[in-house]
Amino acid sequence: MRRLGRTRYEDAHRLQQDLVAARADGLRSDILLVAEHDDVVTLGRKSLPGDAAGVEMPVVSVERGGEATWHGPGQAVLYPIVLLPEGRRDLHAWLRGLEQVVIDAMADFGVQGSRVEGYTGVWIGERKACSIGVAVRRWTTWHGLALNVDADLSRFSGFNPCGLDPRLMANLADHAACSLSAVEDRLVARFVEFHRDWVGC
């Protein structure tokens, strides 16, 4: 696990690319990156031209699935770079597993997270708190999840995050006493459990 702290999205993306190549080539083991980003909107593979046309911050097109979303201060971001073993190469199951990581971490703070049929991510009641989008290269996963902890949710305005009304975005800290670092710690712990089960070690 590597904590990047507050970092530019472009720098974290470049690091992911290097680590994915090394992992796919068998030159390193799986790794989890933990980050908090400066303001940026990323456009996934399902994004349409102009999806973030009204946004006054950097916009970056990336390889992950899904649509547009925002990353920024107050948001816990995890990038698992994992070579999926033979017999476990199911990206839909991987996404459901990442959702469970977040649901379990939320439960550690006494908050009930849930899934909504037809959407990837984790919700608190009728509002979405966590976005998830991944990519895979030679069966090595990258990109990951972003959980709003104590973020400025107005930064989602000006576009439709994950195709949704921006008013549907939620912060975990509105439902529990928690800090970004404490949430990162629980997400990491829950991911380690999930990873151990997934790869068998």
Between strands 59-61 and 40-43, the pairing is parallel
For the chain, helix, strand, coil in percent to 5 are: 35, 30, 40
Q: Please state the φ and ψ torsions of residue 190, each to the nearest 5 degrees.
A: -70, -35
Q: Quick check: is 201 catalytic?
A: no
DSSP string, 103-166: HHHHHTTT---B--TT--SEEETTEEEEEEEEEEETTEEEEEEEEESS--GGGGTTS-GGGS-G
* Catalytic hit among 130, 162, 178, 201: 162
Residues taking part in catalysis? 162
